Amino acid sequence: MTAPTAPDVIRSAYAQLVVTDLPRARWFWADMLGFHVQYEDRDTLCLRGSDELTHHSLVLRRGAEAALDHIAYRVRTPEDVDRAEAFFTRLGRPVRRVPAGQGTKGIGDAVRVVDPLGFPVEFFHDIERAERLIQRYDLRHGAEIARLDHFNICTPDIPAAYAHYRSLGFGCSETIEGDEHELYAAWMYRKQTVHDVAFTGGAGPRLHHLGVATHESHQVLRCADLFGSIRKEHHIERGPGRHGVSNAFYLYLRDPDGHRVEVYTSDYYTGDPDHETYRWNVHDDRRRDFWGNAVIESWYKEATPVLGLDGTPQPVMDSLLDESAVQVGADGLG
Ligand SMILES: O=S(=O)(O)c1ccc(O)c(O)c1
Ligand SMILES: [Fe+2]
């Protein structure tokens, strides 16, 4: 019996987060980061960046406990939703078809799975179109977020995560490896940039962060200034700075529920078929911050729990490798 064909994933498309206070979350994600509200009711907020032409790239839904409801990848054709269903069924994973109108607002026929890493993942093709805001400069505000760029997930077994996403046809742009090439972290892509998904070694399945892109580094700096100017600097967790991996300029924040978001700009093209993986040594203290600034402990250790298809929190397994325990200068742990 031949192995089922993997769905043709186009890109990381949206995340659905559970937040405990929707108005406070609206302030953080819409007012301060600059997402545009595409739809809202008393329990749900659908948001998108200025460049995004589809209904949303972030859904916030009210709930009792902060969690990741699911991440979602857009696939190239409606038939790829069927392929995704067959692919994960064959792996023996929990699978649930979600017909149009019965799932997330704005999304058509979809399939939700718990993948081999324990993450709730949706694959969809049909999504409502939205008004083009690319040149509505009059509507830009806050950090002026342009689009969702990537998911970063905490998982205890990085090689297993790498193998799973390779089986879905993802390329690998960069890695962090030990002296014996043990894999500490990897950045993997379908769209032609550094990543749609990346893996941080740690207890998992947990969501480490959502990466959202701006066009310019001054918008990353403005984001930090906006929070500082209204005495909300405690939302800033790490940065601003320049990554070694990806070469992107970055700032990490925590939303009112502790969900981590990275405001990120200026990584690079990865679209040639012979694109080579760039490998960093875990002892290179420029890998996570090119200027050698330390990575604070909370960035390695804290993350968001994820829900199963039944809405209950997924059990978490401890990490096999702990990068924060590796003695290097810049992390301030040497
Ligand atoms: O800190 S790293 O340079 O490894 C890094 C690179 C790209 C990212 O998106 C990220 O979150 C972290
Ligand atoms: Fe990131």
pLDDT tens digits, 87-102: 999 999 999 999 999 9
pLDDT at 57 over 90: yes
Question: What is the Å distance from ligand 1's center to 174 Cα?
Answer: 10
Share of the chain above pLDDT 90, in %: 94
**pLDDT value at position 333?**
38
Considering every ligand atom, which ligand is closest to the CA of 284?
1
**Which is the closest atom of ligand 1 to the Cα of 245?**
3
Question: What is the Å distance from ligand 2's center to 176 Cα?
Answer: 14
Considering every ligand atom, which ligand is closest to the CA of 245?
1
Could you tell me the pTM of the whole model?
Answer: 0.96
> How many Å apart are CA 77 and CA 38, to the nearest integer?
24
Higher pLDDT, 330 or 64: 64
Q: What is the pLDDT of residues 235-275, one digit of tens each?
A: 999 999 999 999 999 999 999 999 999 999 999 999 999 99
Confidence of residue 24 (pLDDT cuts 50, 70, 90): very high
**pLDDT value at position 229?**
98
Average the pLDDT over 10-24 and give the result: 98
**pLDDT value at position 332?**
34
**pLDDT value at position 328?**
53
pLDDT at 330 over 70: no
N residues, the chain: 334
> How many Å apart are CA 57 and CA 35, to the nearest integer?
9
Question: What is the Å distance from ligand 2's center to 248 Cα?
Answer: 9
Q: What is the pLDDT of residues 205-237, one digit of tens each?
A: 999 999 999 999 999 999 999 999 999 999 999
Same fold, 9-124 and 143-330: yes
Q: What is the pLDDT of residues 192-204, one digit of tens each?
A: 999 999 999 999 9
Q: Are strands 249-254 and 110-114 parallel, antiparallel or unpaired?
A: unpaired
Average the pLDDT over 164-184 and give the result: 97
Q: What is the pLDDT of residues 273-294, one digit of tens each?
A: 999 999 999 999 999 999 999 9
Average the pLDDT over 25-52 and give the result: 98
Beta-sheet strand order (sheet of 67-75): 36-40, 44-48, 58-62, 9-19, 67-75, 120-124, 110-114, 95-98
Q: Which residues contact 41 (CB under 8 A, 6 or more apart)?
A: none
Question: What is the Å distance from ligand 1's center to 63 Cα?
Answer: 29
Considering every ligand atom, which ligand is closest to the CA of 174?
1
Which amino acid is located at 311 in the chain?
A: G
Question: What is the Å distance from ligand 1's center to 43 Cα?
Answer: 32
The CA-CA-CA angle for residues 64, 66, 69, to 5°, reads 100
Confidence of residue 327 (pLDDT cuts 50, 70, 90): low
The closest residue, in CA terms, to atom 4 on ligand 1 is 288
**Which is the closest atom of ligand 1 to the Cα of 243?**
3
Probe residue for ligand 1, chosen from 188, 243, 299 as the CB with the greatest number of ligand atoms within 8 Å:
243
pLDDT at 156 over 70: yes
Confidence of residue 334 (pLDDT cuts 50, 70, 90): very low
Q: Thinking of the domain 9-124, which architecture would CATH place it in? A: Roll (3.10)
Higher pLDDT, 70 or 321: 70
Instruction: Return mean pLDDT, the chain.
Output: 95
The closest residue, in CA terms, to atom 9 on ligand 1 is 211
> Phi, psi at residue 110, to the nearest 5°?
-145, 170
CATH of domain 143-330: 3.10.180.10
Average the pLDDT over 8-24 and give the result: 98
Question: What is the Å distance from ligand 2's center to 234 Cα?
Answer: 20
**Which is the closest atom of ligand 1 to the Cα of 209?**
11
User: Token pair of 144, please?
Assistant: 């002026």
**pLDDT value at position 323?**
81
Share of the chain above pLDDT 70, in %: 98
What is the domain partition of the chain in residue ranges?
A: 9-124, 143-330
Question: What is the Å distance from ligand 2's center to 259 Cα?
Answer: 13
Probe residue for ligand 1, chosen from 158, 174, 187 as the CB with the greatest number of ligand atoms within 8 Å:
187
**Which is the closest atom of ligand 1 to the Cα of 290?**
3
